[in-house]
Chain A
Amino acid sequence: MREILRMNNVSVHFPVKGGLPFLKRGVIQAVSDVSLTIAHGETYGIVGESGCGKTTLANAMIGMVKPTSGEVLFAGKDLLRLPKEEFKKARQKMQMIFQDPFSSLNPRFNVYQIVSEPMFIRGEDDQEAMIARVVELLELVGLSSEDLYRYPSDFSGGQRQRLGIARAISLNPSFLVCDEPVSALDVSIHAQILNLLVMIQEQMKLTYVFISHNLADVKNICDRMAVMYLGKVMESGSSDRIFKRPLHPYTQALLAAVLDTTFDEKREQIILQGDIPSPIDPPLGCRFWQRCPQAMEGCKTIPPEHLEVEDDHVVACHLVHGFPAVELPDGYDRPVESLKK
């Protein structure tokens, strides 16, 4: 595996500013102690529910937010310690496609201005060459030179997402973050955009980070993946292996929520109890214990370690590994009473 990006124990905390003096000041632990590696040319999926830290993690990968601790290595270099000029160069190699194609494009810019902006910022000034490049990009994403001087409001959601893609690949990046690229689009358009992304990846030999809350999309597009919950990675590694043998109860619950049209009465339904807790005061032990159908007393206080269960398949769960041989509280392996139905 030729590695393009590596994260070592990355945490991103945001301060919560209590508006009133008596309010406790705290931190939002948006991303906690995440370690992962992404190989050249692969698609790496990040999946999890709203607020679990997917976007923040991706932003940390491309240097858009500064980790509170840990390091991010892009092509072997520590992104945070790079001199300014070199950082700028590295950043041009890393681009992002956003979830909402309606708000991510400047409505006062025409297509040419939108797509050429990154080149313009880089300091290109050959107008003719830029127009030729923009037309080339438009054709690649399924638009045409006739669209050059139209405005975002003239386009449908799917077409706007195509524009966002053209803009993101304009500087020939090698690393592209797709942050829920189809969530805001009509279902009948999803496949068009996903096929386009696959085609572009093959043509440009890109590495993708693909963020989604839909496990089926992740399964179909990603080589490797991480399942996140409340800022932490629960299960990660080869997507084939994870889907073949999902081991974390949270991964299993997400899987059960995917569209089922078999109408098979016997298909297991997993309904999680309760709500996603706040990332301000996350649980001490496993972050998932309050909603885990199989939680044990020890899960409340002992954080599970990330251990490999097979090659390129890592899980953080006491049910899988057993509790570590440390001082364990009494009754640590009893099921949590309050969670019983």
Chain B
Amino acid sequence: MEPILKLRNLKVVFPTNFGLIRAVESVDLDIGDRECVALVGESGCGKSVTSQSVMRLIESPPAVTRVDAIEFAGRDIKDYGPKQMQEIRGKEMSMIFQDAMTSLNPVMTVGNQIDEMYRRHQGDSKKAARQKTVRALELIGLPEPTARANSFPHELSGGMRQRVLLAMAFACMPKLIIADEPTTALDVTIQAQVLKTLRGMQRGCGTSLLLVTHDLSVVASIADTVYVMYSGKIVEKAPVKDLFTAPQHPYTVGLMAAVPRLTDEKRKFTQIPGAVPHPARKPSGCYFHPRCDYATAECKKEMPPLVKSGADREVRCFHPLTAGGRQ
């Protein structure tokens, strides 16, 4: 199966007053047709910079970006100009951000904002566009879509606004949707609604999805394949079930253990020592070694490569936990 997106060797650095921030270091990413790929990691690990680089939204300066290839739907878009990208964005590739309030225009009704998508990308008349808008709002489960189309963003609840963003992102049936923390700002029960809608829409429309999140429960409920990022590097890649049932990288293992579960023992929380390194002062060798129980002299000296570690799996560790135990 030919992937819809093939990102190769993406590097993004930000020169700052306190040194060079290597936000993304040689990241490869493959997203298959109709696949939901999750990019997970903690704050500052480079998830947003990676996903925005795919859409070519990272401004340079300040950023300095190097990439070998951004193959999207069979062509390399890494050297596309702003005009060409404009053509692609919204139509073939669209984005859903965390904060619906800042991604919607506050002085325009949500209906008009969705109409715009159809009129710009599909050349629809005002009337035809509105019909499609109402249908889209209905599809994402907004009650009273015809009336709601005339609401301004501030008149809607957080969950409704996020649904409007979904409707906009799916409007032109793009091949790829990038969703950056689409449910993080929402309450748990509303989050469950929006995720269900997102999953349903993705399946129904045959779209591929790149989901950026720090929340493992979101990953478990929606992703097919998961990339785990730590301090700018991919440390593990695996099909979702394999990742949760048999994590291989010590960081993934720690992260899973750190998520509270209902089956946990009372008043005992499995902790990862230390903290994520400052992005301008990353340690030598493996970036995780200062926090890792299994670190050896080798780990302090050298960055382990990302190697194949099973069917569709990769791990960046000298001592991964594999079926045969720790190496």
Contacts and interface: CB of A to CB of B under 8 A. Distances in A.
Interface of A: 49-50, 156, 158-159, 186-192, 194-195, 198, 213-217, 219-221, 243, 253-261, 263, 269-276, 291
A276 B258 contact: no
B127 interface: no
A55 to B, nearest CB: 15
Given A216-B264, A272-B192, A259 B217 contact: yes
Interface string B211-248: 00010110011000000000000000000010011000
A158 B271 contact: no
Contacts of B196: 269, 271
Contact of B271 (A159, A195, A216): A195
Given A260-B221, A275-B160, A221 B267 contact: yes
A166 B199 CA distance: 44
A260 B254 contact: no
B252 to A, nearest CB: 11
A187 B42 contact: yes
A275 B262 contact: no
Contacts of B267: 198, 220-221
B272 A261 contact: no
A219 B262 contact: yes
Contacts of A158: 275
Interface string B257-289: 111111011111111110110000000000000
Nearest to B194: A271
A220 B275 contact: no
A188 B276 contact: yes
A204 to B, nearest CB: 15
A272 B193 contact: yes
Interface residues of B, number: 44
Contacts of B272: 188, 191-192
A326 to B, nearest CB: 31
Nearest to B251: A188
A217 B220 CA distance: 18
Interface of B: 42-43, 143, 157, 159-160, 187-193, 196, 214, 216-217, 220-221, 241, 244-245, 254-262, 264-273, 275-276, 291
Given A49-B189, A189-B275, A260-B221, 17 more contacts: A187-B214, A188-B254, A188-B291, A190-B258, A191-B269, A191-B272, A192-B272, A198-B269, A214-B188, A219-B260, A220-B267, A257-B189, A257-B217, A263-B241, A271-B193, A272-B193, A276-B157
Contacts of A192: 269, 271-273
Nearest to B141: A273
A191 B254 CA distance: 10
Nearest to A278: B157
A290 to B, nearest CB: 12
A192 B245 CA distance: 24
Contact of A213 (B187, B217, B220, B265): B187
Given A159-B275, A259-B220, A261-B220, A187 B189 contact: no
Contacts of B254: 188
A49 B264 contact: no
B269 A195 contact: yes
A59 B284 CA distance: 47
Contacts of A256: 192
Determine which residue in B189, B190, B291 has the highest number of CB atoms from chain A within 10 A of its CB, and name it: B189
B191 A216 contact: no
A263 B43 CA distance: 26
Contacts of B157: 275-276
B262 A194 contact: no
A211 B242 CA distance: 33
A194 B275 CA distance: 15
10 contacts: A187-B214, A188-B258, A190-B258, A243-B262, A253-B189, A260-B217, A263-B244, A263-B245, A271-B189, A273-B193
A275 B254 CA distance: 35
A159 B188 CA distance: 27
Nearest to A217: B260
A272 B258 CA distance: 27
Contacts of B217: 257-260
Contacts of A269: 192, 196
Contacts of A221: 266-267
B262 A276 contact: no
Nearest to A51: B187
Contacts of B187: 49-50, 213, 276
A258 B218 CA distance: 10
A191 B157 CA distance: 32
B255 A220 contact: no
A49 B188 contact: yes
